[in-house]
C-alpha cells in the first residue's frame, strides 16, 4: 500500500489518477467494511466526483494541493455540508450541517478526497467505540476486539487500508489510544493548533482534531495541512505552524528523552500490562542506541489527571450537549404536551447511557454550588500538571510513556464505566496540559497485538515530537523505511 505522500506525488505528477487510487480504496472498503464497520457512511459518490475534479485539474496543468488525490476518512463528529454528521448518536441521526468544519475546508483546498464518515463512541465519549448508537467498530487486526476509542472508526479505517489518512478528535486520548490498539500512528496536536470550528464539541477546553496515518511522515503531512490559525475559533493559536516535515529526519542524536515513571507502573497507578511496559523500554533503548540521552523522570501530579479530567470534561460536556433539545434540529420525541416535556423526552430518547452518565456527572460537578468547588479545583489541578511537566521539560526535550496500559481488549470486556475510564490514564495529562502527543506502534504485546508508545512534547513542540516519533518508527521497522 502506498503512503499518502507517495499518492499525492503520483497524482500531482499525473502518474496515477486520483480516480484509480480512490477505486482501489473503495474496493478494499467493499471487501472488509461489513466485518469492521469503520464507517457510519461511505461517501463514494461525492468522492468520485472530487477525484474526477482533481484529475481534471492535473490534466489541465493546474497546481494541486499537498494531498492531491489522497483519500481521507473523517470522524463523524466533524461537520460536512449536506452530508449527515451524526456523532454516532440517535440525536443527530439525520442531521446534515449547512456548513463545513474548518478542517474540512482545509482538506478540500489541499486536494484530499473524503471517502466517508467514521464511527465513534457517541459524542466521542468512550474508549472502545462500543458506545456508538450505530453498532460497534471491530479492530481490523482481530475483529473480536475493540479498536479503541472514541475515534475507533478512524483508527480502524487506516488500519484496514480503507484510507491512508483519517482525522479523529482527542479529548482524553481518543486519537492516540485507538491508534495504539489498531497499530497505526495517531497524533493529538497542541491545544489551539488545529481549529475546532465545525468539530462537534465534547469538552471544549480539551478537544483537539488530529491525524491518523500508517506512517509518521504521513502524520506530519496531514498535520501541516490542518493546522493553523482560524479566526472562527477564539482559542486558536495565532502563530505560524512550525514546519514539522522539514525536521522529521533530523535524528535523535543529543536529544534528551525522559520516561515518566508514574506511567510505567512505578507509582500508585496500576493495571499496566508488562508487555506494554517492556515495549516502551525497548523503544527508549532504541532511542538511546540512536544517540539520545534517556532517563526516568517523575511527573508526580500525572496521577491526578484522571480525577481532574472526570470533573472538567463532563462539566463542559453537560453544557455543550444542552442544545440537543429537539427544538431546532436532531431527534424530537413525539407527544410532548409542553415544551419542557418535549425537550426532556427528546433528550432521554436521543442520548445513549454513556452520554447520559457524563452529562449527569458534569451537571453534578457544576450544580454543587459555585463552580470553583469542583470544576475550578480540577482546573487548578490542571495547573499542577502543567507545572510538573514544565519541570520535566527543563531537563528533557520529550517524554515517553505507554499510550494505553493495555493492548486491544475483547468487545464487551470492560462494561464498568470506571474500568473503561482508567484506560485513559496515560493520555489524559497531555489534554489537560494542552500539549502535543503522538502514539507510534512499537512491537506487540499480549496476543501479538500492537503496542503504542506515546511521545509527549511541550506546548507547540510538535517538531521535536515528530523527530522522535520518526526515530521510534525507524527502530520498530528494524531500520527499514
Partner 1 sequence: MSVRTDSVNEGAEPESSRLSREDVAHVASLALLELTDAELDEFTGQLDAVLEHAKDIDALDVGDVEPTYHPYPVTNVFRDDVVEQLDVHDAALAMAPEAEDGQFRVPPALGEEP
Partner 2 sequence: MTDIEQPVSSTMLSAWEVDSKVERETSHLPAEWEMVIGLEVHAELATETKMFSPARNHFGSEPNTNVHPVCLGLPGTLPVVNGKAVELSIRLGLALNCHVQRCVFARKNYFYPDMPKDYQISQYDRPLNINGWLELASGHTIGIERAHMEEDTGKSTHVGESGRIHDAGYSLVDYNRAGVPLIEIVSHPDIRGPEEAKEYVAELQRILIAVGASDGKFEEGSLRVDANVSVRPAGSDELRTRCEVKNVNSLRSLGRAIQYETQRHVDLYLAGDRPVQETRHWDEEGGRTRAGRSKEQAEDYRYFPDPDLVPVDPSPEWIEEIRQSLPVLPRERRQRLVDAGGTAQAAALAVERDLDQLAFDAMSQGADPERTLKHVANNLAVDGAQTLDPSNFAELVKLETGGGLTATQAKQVLAEMVETGNAPGDIAAQRGFEAMESSELEGLLDGIIAASPDEWSRFCEGEAKLQGFFTGQIMKATKGQADGKEIAKLLAQKSAG
> Strand, helix or coil at 402?
strand
Binds partner 2 by CB under 8 A, chosen from 47, 113, 306, 343? 343
235 near partner 2, rule: CB under 8 A: yes
C-alpha cell at 197: 470550528
CA gap 322, 319 in Å, rounded: 5
Strand positions, DSSP E, 223-316: 256-260, 293-297
Strand arrangement, sheet containing 39-42: 39-42, 113-118, 71-75, 165-170, 208-213, 185-188, 437-444, 450-456, 398-402, 256-260, 293-297
- Segment contacting partner 1 (CB under 8 A): 128-136, 149-157, 170-178, 373-381? 373-381
Q: Of 231, 237, 184, nearest to 208 (Cα)?
A: 237
C-alpha cell at 404: 494505553
The mark string for 300-339 relative to partner 2 (x by CB under 8 A, - otherwise) is ---------------xx-xx--xx-x-xxx---------x
Binds partner 2 by CB under 8 A, chosen from 66, 97, 183, 189? 97
CA gap 190, 458 in Å, rounded: 8
103 near partner 2, rule: CB under 8 A: no
75 among known catalytic residues: yes
Tell me which of partner 2, partner 1, none is bound by residue 203, counting a contact when its beta carbon lies within the kind-specific cut-off of 5 to 8 angstroms. Answer: partner 2
CA gap 258, 294 in Å, rounded: 6
| CB-nearer residue toward partner 2: 101 or 420 | 101
Kindly give the pairing relationship between strand 398-402 and strand 450-456. antiparallel
Q: Which is it for the CA torsion 481, 280, 126, 323, positive or negative?
A: negative
- Least Å from the CB of residue 426 to partner 2: 23
- Segment contacting partner 2 (CB under 8 A): 33-41, 87-95, 150-158, 182-190? 87-95
Q: State the Cα angle at 359 between 120 and 347, rounded to 5°.
A: 80
Tell me which of partner 2, partner 1, none is bound by residue 108, counting a contact when its beta carbon lies within the kind-specific cut-off of 5 to 8 angstroms. Answer: none
Tell me which of partner 2, partner 1, none is bound by residue 87, counting a contact when its beta carbon lies within the kind-specific cut-off of 5 to 8 angstroms. Answer: partner 2
Subset of 186-245 contacting partner 1 (CB under 8 A): 190-192, 205, 231, 234-235, 237-238
Catalytic residue, from 12, 75, 169, 219: name it. Answer: 75
The mark string for 408-447 relative to partner 1 (x by CB under 8 A, - otherwise) is --------xxx--x----------xxxx------------
- Least Å from the CB of residue 340 to partner 2: 7
Contact between residue 186 and residue 218 where contact means Cβ atoms under 8 Å apart: no
Helix axis angle, 4-12 to 18-36, nearest 10°: 150
> Strand, helix or coil at 375?
helix
- Segment contacting partner 2 (CB under 8 A): 125-133, 228-236, 253-261, 290-298? 228-236
150 among known catalytic residues: yes
Count Cα atoms within 13 angstroms, Cβ side, for 261.
11
Contact between residue 133 and residue 93 where contact means Cβ atoms under 8 Å apart: yes
Tell me which of partner 2, partner 1, none is bound by residue 45, counting a contact when its beta carbon lies within the kind-specific cut-off of 5 to 8 angstroms. Answer: none
Q: State the Cα angle at 227 between 226 and 229, rounded to 5°.
A: 120
Tell me which of partner 2, partner 1, none is bound by residue 265, counting a contact when its beta carbon lies within the kind-specific cut-off of 5 to 8 angstroms. Answer: none
CA gap 214, 2 in Å, rounded: 10
Catalytic residue, from 57, 150, 346, 430: name it. Answer: 150
Binds partner 1 by CB under 8 A, chosen from 382, 414, 464, 470? 382
Tell me which of partner 1, partner 2, none is bound by residue 191, counting a contact when its beta carbon lies within the kind-specific cut-off of 5 to 8 angstroms. Answer: partner 1
CA-based R_g, the chain, Å:
21
- Least Å from the CB of residue 477 to partner 2: 38
- Other CB atoms within 10 A of residue 363 CB: 16
153 near partner 1, rule: CB under 8 A: no
Tell me which of partner 1, partner 2, none is bound by residue 319, counting a contact when its beta carbon lies within the kind-specific cut-off of 5 to 8 angstroms. Answer: partner 2
Using CA atoms, how far residue 100 sits from 42, 80, 210, in Å, is 17, 5, 17
Catalytic residue, from 19, 166, 174, 439: name it. Answer: 174
Cis peptide before 150, with omega less than 30 degrees from 0?
yes
174 among known catalytic residues: yes
Tell me which of partner 2, partner 1, none is bound by residue 85, counting a contact when its beta carbon lies within the kind-specific cut-off of 5 to 8 angstroms. Answer: partner 2
| CB-nearer residue toward partner 1: 48 or 229 | 229
Interface size with partner 2, residues (CB under 8 A):
46
Q: Which residues bind partner 2 (CB under 8 A)?
A: 77-79, 85, 87, 92, 95, 97-99, 101, 196-201, 203-205, 231-235, 315-316, 318-319, 322-323, 325, 327-329, 339-340, 343, 363, 366-367, 370-372, 375-376
Residues noted as catalytic: 75, 150, 174
Amino acid at each position: 500500500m502506498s503512503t499518502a505522500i507517495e499518492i499525492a506525488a503520483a497524482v500531482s505528477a499525473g502518474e496515477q489518477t486520483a480516480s484509480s487510487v480512490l477505486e482501489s480504496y473503495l474496493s478494499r472498503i467493499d471487501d472488509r467494511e461489513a466485518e469492521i464497520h469503520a464507517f457510519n457512511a461511505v461517501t463514494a459518490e461525492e468522492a468520485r466526483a472530487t477525484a474526477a475534479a482533481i484529475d481534471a485539474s492535473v490534466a489541465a496543468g493546474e497546481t494541486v494541493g499537498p494531498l492531491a488525490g489522497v483519500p481521507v476518512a473523517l470522524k463523524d463528529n466533524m461537520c460536512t455540508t449536506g452530508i449527515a454528521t451524526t456523532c454516532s448518536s440517535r440525536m443527530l441521526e439525520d442531521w446534515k450541517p449547512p456548513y463545513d468544519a474548518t478542517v474540512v475546508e482545509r482538506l478540500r483546498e489541499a486536494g484530499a478526497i473524503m471517502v466517508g464518515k467514521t464511527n465513534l463512541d457517541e459524542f466521542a465519549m468512550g474508549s472502545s467505540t462500543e458506545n456508538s448508537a450505530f453498532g460497534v467498530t471491530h479492530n481490523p487486526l482481530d475483529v473480536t476486539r475493540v479498536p479503541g476509542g472514541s475515534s475507533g472508526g478512524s483508527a480502524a479505517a487506516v488500519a484496514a487500508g480503507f484510507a491512508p489518512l483519517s482525522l479523529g478528535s482527542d479529548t482524553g486520548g481518543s486519537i492516540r489510544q485507538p491508534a495504539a490498539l489498531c497499530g497505526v500512528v495517531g497524533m493529538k496536536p497542541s491545544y489551539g493548533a488545529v481549529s475546532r470550528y465545525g468539530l462537534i464539541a465534547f469538552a471544549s477546553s480539551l478537544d483537539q482534531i488530529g491525524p491518523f496515518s500508517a506512517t509518521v511522515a504521513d502524520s506530519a503531512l496531514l498535520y501541516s495541512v490542518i493546522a493553523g490559525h482560524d479566526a472562527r475559533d477564539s482559542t486558536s493559536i495565532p502563530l505560524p505552524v512550525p514546519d514539522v516535515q522539514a525536521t522529521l529526519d533530523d535524528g535523535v542524536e543529543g536529544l534528551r528523552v525522559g520516561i515518566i515513571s508514574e506511567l510505567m507502573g512505578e507509582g500508585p497507578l496500576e493495571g499496566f500490562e508488562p508487555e506494554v511496559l517492556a515495549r516502551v523500554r525497548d523503544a527508549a533503548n532504541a532511542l538511546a542506541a540512536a544517540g539520545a540521552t534517556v532517563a526516568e523522570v517523575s511527573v508526580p501530579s500525572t496521577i491526578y489527571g484522571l480525577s481532574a479530567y472526570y470533573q472538567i470534561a463532563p462539566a463542559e460536556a453537560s453544557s455543550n450537549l444542552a442544545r440537543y433539545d429537539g427544538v431546532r434540529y436532531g431527534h424530537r420525541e413525539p407527544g410532548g404536551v409542553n415544551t419542557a416535556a418535549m425537550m426532556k423526552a427528546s433528550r432521554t430518547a436521543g442520548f445513549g447511557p454513556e452520554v447520559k452518565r457524563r452529562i449527569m456527572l458534569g451537571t453534578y460537578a457544576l450544580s454543587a454550588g459555585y463552580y470553583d468547588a469542583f470544576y475550578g479545583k480540577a482546573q487548578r489541578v490542571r495547573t499542577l500538571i502543567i507545572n510538573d511537566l514544565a519541570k520535566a521539560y527543563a531537563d528533557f526535550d520529550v517524554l515517553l510513556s505507554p499510550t494505553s496500559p493495555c493492548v486491544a481488549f475483547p468487545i464487551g470486556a470492560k462494561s464498568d464505566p470506571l474500568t473503561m475510564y482508567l484506560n485513559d490514564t496515560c493520555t489524559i495529562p497531555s489534554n489537560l496540559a494542552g500539549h502535543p502527543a503522538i502514539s507510534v506502534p512499537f512491537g506487540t504485546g499480549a496476543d501479538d497485538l500492537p503496542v503504542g508508545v506515546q511521545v509527549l512534547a511541550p506546548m507547540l513542540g510538535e517538531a521535536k515530537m515528530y523527530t522522535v516519533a520518526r526515530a521510534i518508527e525507524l527502530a520498530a521497522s528494524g531500520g527499514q523505511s
